Amino acid sequence: MPMTGRFDDQAIHAILSEALLSGRLMAGAKLGEQRLAAVFGVTRERIRKVLLRLGHERLIETFPNRGAYVVNPSIEDAREIYEARRVVEGGIAWHVAERLSDEQQTVLRAHFTSERQAHQHRSRADSVRLSGEFHILLARMTKNEFVIRTMQELVARTSMLVAFFEDSNASECAVDEHEEILLALESRNPAAAAHAMMAHLALIETRLHPRAAPAGKADLLPALNAAIEAYEARAK
């Protein structure tokens, strides 16, 4: 039995995100509050709170009176989401390249450096999060609330698609593709930036392949335990 008080809400959220983004949970599997409460040694109320947050972040689906489930995206959902991203983000890249300040350039460079470090340390959850944030960061630089909100939803939906479809060794966003976008932005070339962004999103889409189900995937416990171990190793 895990010790009570071993995990705070932030830790439970980080561990569940890691397990979800690892793609080791079965699509459509139920995330039972009672079961998770036992795994983490906390109350069901605290699990419910974390599940609500994960639902808000689109990492899981929550239904009133039915509970929380691992998302179950189809390949058609994936195509539509990537098409939407090419439409929106081609425009974002163009817009940002036309107006990039020196300060924004420094922020983008710094972000890119952390992304490359996460990739080198093979931390999949960090890589997924940081590469998603690169796209959000560009959206924020438009300073348009509608664009930012649309992108937050699209990026969250993409993170879960990547977990289910992509083969586990490939990175969801190739670091050198982000660098190509960054270089075009730094040279203030709108057409090159839009082109690099759209090419990047098309390449991610071609890397999406439904995965073979790993052994024991139907059970939540192995994936959760692996995520708990990874979390505790990082916390040391």
- Which residue in 10, 19, 69 sits closest to 229, CA to CA? 19
Considering only the stretches 48-56, 166-174, 185-193, 215-223, report the one whose residues sit in contact with Zn ion under the rule CB under 5 A.
Answer: 166-174
| Residue 173 binds Zn ion, judged by CB under 5 A | yes
Sign of the alpha-carbon torsion through 20, 25, 29, 33:
negative
| Residue 118 binds Zn ion, judged by CB under 5 A | no
- Of the pair 88, 173, the CB lying nearest Zn ion is at 173
Tell me which H or E stretch contains 124: helix 124-140
Considering only the stretches 57-65, 90-98, 173-181, 225-233, report the one whose residues sit in contact with Zn ion under the rule CB under 5 A.
Answer: 173-181
| Contact partners, residue 232, CB within 8 Å, separation at least 6 | none
- Of the pair 70, 173, the CB lying nearest Zn ion is at 173
| Contact partners, residue 120, CB within 8 Å, separation at least 6 | none
To the nearest whole angstrom, how small is the minimum distance from the Cβ of residue 141 to Zn ion? 15
Query: Which residues are bridge partners to 166 per DSSP?
Result: 208
Considering only the stretches 35-43, 72-80, 172-180, 213-221, report the one whose residues sit in contact with Zn ion under the rule CB under 5 A.
Answer: 172-180
- Of the pair 47, 96, the CB lying nearest Zn ion is at 96
Site for Zn ion in 33-72 (CB under 5 A): none
To the nearest whole angstrom, how small is the minimum distance from the Cβ of residue 89 to Zn ion? 9
Distances (CA, A) of 118 to 121, 129, 173, 175, 203: 5, 10, 12, 10, 21
| Residue 81 binds Zn ion, judged by CB under 5 A | no
- Which residue in 163, 166, 172, 175 sits closest to 16, CA to CA? 163
Pairwise CA distance, residues 101 & 92, whole Å: 15
Considering only the stretches 14-22, 60-68, 170-178, 211-219, report the one whose residues sit in contact with Zn ion under the rule CB under 5 A.
Answer: 170-178
- Which residue in 44, 40, 73, 45 sits closest to 59, CA to CA? 73
- Of the pair 151, 173, the CB lying nearest Zn ion is at 173
To the nearest whole angstrom, how small is the minimum distance from the Cβ of residue 172 to Zn ion? 7
Contact residues: Zn ion, CB under 5 A: 173
